[in-house]
């Protein structure tokens, strides 16, 4: 696939250099046939200690009931000196609904564990296409319920749990927050939706612009949504919990932090989601980082714009947790 001819925002110069290097290893468009190979590169449990590094953080894994009562796993991260009850961070990982695991994208949540003496619970939801909708979001909701029910033994203040996720994890975090609202489930103090995958309909300007270029382009997005929804993708029979952009009422939700890049597929749906929260009288902080491609903060963490993006998220979490 060639780069789209539709005008699009330029990439940040630092990030453009990273994209050039990435192009040799990662094609912009992921197809269904690539899913098995992509999963081989997923971080595995043996690498968790490397992920934690020299942070004073301990972790333990629990087997819990997921959707339909089937067993899934969650891993709990806390400071080694954690006592009492701290804020809870419930983490839903990214990976386009088709890859990744509960250790994907954890570097910033682990920073929050260390800085705020929080306890992070990261859920191993089941992946499409083997486990299509509603498995992923229902697994995530089941993990949130378990976290709230076991808050005391986990060292979490049940009145201070926020949900956070990036990409597909951002969409699942939004869907889980909607489920918690509608089922009168665990109360959340906030939702951190990091360049969230929210809309299956392939109808925005940004999805047309980012086609054959960048990271996670329009074709990749169609691959992910098709794995999750099958023939229902883009049709009328898709729930708001699978594709939160379809929700017409975003009232009664916890405050949201939403960010994305200006040069990524998810830009327009993320901006629209923030606007819909405001229209419902809710609270949302929105950042659109100029020249950012999808996941640039993870792939180019030392770039100036990545540092600003990470700092903005942490500042919002700090205000939410510390008041």
pLDDT in tens, 67-103: 999 999 999 999 999 999 999 999 999 999 999 999 9
CATH no., domain 28-322: 3.40.50.1820
Closest by CA to 257, choosing from 192, 306, 182, 166, is 192
Nearest C-alpha neighbor of 124 from the set 92, 88, 171:
92
The residues that bridge with 63 in the sheet, in sequence order, are 73
User: Tokens representing 7?
Assistant: 């005008």
pTM of this structure: 0.96
Higher pLDDT, 168 or 6: 168
Half-sphere exposure of 79 (CA within 13 A, CB side): 17
- pLDDT of 46 over the 80 cut: no
Q: Which residue has the tokens 């992921």?
A: 30
Conformational region of residue 290, where left means phi above 0, alpha means psi within -120 to 50, and beta covers everything else: beta
What mean pLDDT, rounded, does the chain reach? 95
Residues 191-207 have pLDDT tens digits of 999 999 999 999 999 99
b/e code 112-121 from CB counts within 10 Å (16+ = b): bbbebbbbbb
28 contacts: CB under 8 Å, gap ≥ 6: 1, 212, 213, 214, 215, 216, 217, 219, 220
Q: Which of 41-45, 60-64, 138-142, 313-317 has the lowest mean pLDDT?
A: 41-45
- How big is the CA angle at 173 (ends 301 and 29), to the nearest 5 degrees? 55
pLDDT for 26 equals 81
Token readout for 319 is 């205000």
Q: How confident is the model at residue 54, as a pLDDT?
A: 93
Check whether the bond before 134 is cis (ω within 30° of 0).
Answer: yes
Q: Look at residue 34 and tell me whether its pLDDT is greater than 50.
A: yes
Give burial (CB, 10 Å; 0-12/13-18/19+) of 130: exposed
Residue-wise DSSP of 144-198: HHHHHHTHHHHTEEEEEEEEEEETHHHHHHHHHHHHHHHTT-S--SEEEEES---
Percent of the chain with pLDDT over 90: 90
Q: CB–CB of 253/192 below 8 Å?
A: no
Dihedral (CA of 77, 79, 81, 87) sign: negative
Nearest Cα to Cα of residue 108 among 171, 42, 169, 39? 169
């Amino acid at each position: 696939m060639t780069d789209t001819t539709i005008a699009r925002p330029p990439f940040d110069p630092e990030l453009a250099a990273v994209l050039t290097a990435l192009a040799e290893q990662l094609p912009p468009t992921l197809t269904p046939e690539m899913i098995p190979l992509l999963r081989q590169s997923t971080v595995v449990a043996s690498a968790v200690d490397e992920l934690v590094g020299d942070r004073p953080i301990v972790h333990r894994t629990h087997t819990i009931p997921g959707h339909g009562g089937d067993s899934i796993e969650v891993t709990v991260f806390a400071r080694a000196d954690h006592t009492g009850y701290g804020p809870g961070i419930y983490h839903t990982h990214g990976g386009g609904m088709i890859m990744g695991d509960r250790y994907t994208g954890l570097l910033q949540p682990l920073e929050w564990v260390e800085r705020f003496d929080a306890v992070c619970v990261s859920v191993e939801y089941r992946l499409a296409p083997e486990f299509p909708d509603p498995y992923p979001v229902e697994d995530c909701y089941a993990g949130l319920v378990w976290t709230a029910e076991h808050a005391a033994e986990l060292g979490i203040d049940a009145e201070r749990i926020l949900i956070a996720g990036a990409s597909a994890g951002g969409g699942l975090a939004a869907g889980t927050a909607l489920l918690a609202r509608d089922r009168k489930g665990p109360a959340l103090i906030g939702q951190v939706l990091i360049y969230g995958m929210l809309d299956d309909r392939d109808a925005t300007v940004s999805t047309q612009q980012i086609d054959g270029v960048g990271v996670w382009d329009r074709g990749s997005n169609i691959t992910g949504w098709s794995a999750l929804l099958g023939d229902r993708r883009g049709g009328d029979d898709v729930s708001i919990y699978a594709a939160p952009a379809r929700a017409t009422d975003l009232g009664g939700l916890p405050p949201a932090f939403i960010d994305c890049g200006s040069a990524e597929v998810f830009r327009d749906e993320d901006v629209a989601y923030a606007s819909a929260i405001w229209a419902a009288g809710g609270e949302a902080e929105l950042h659109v980082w100029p020249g950012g491609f999808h996941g640039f903060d993870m792939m180019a963490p030392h770039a100036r714009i990545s540092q600003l993006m990470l700092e903005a998220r942490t500042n919002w979490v700090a205000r939410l947790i510390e008041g």
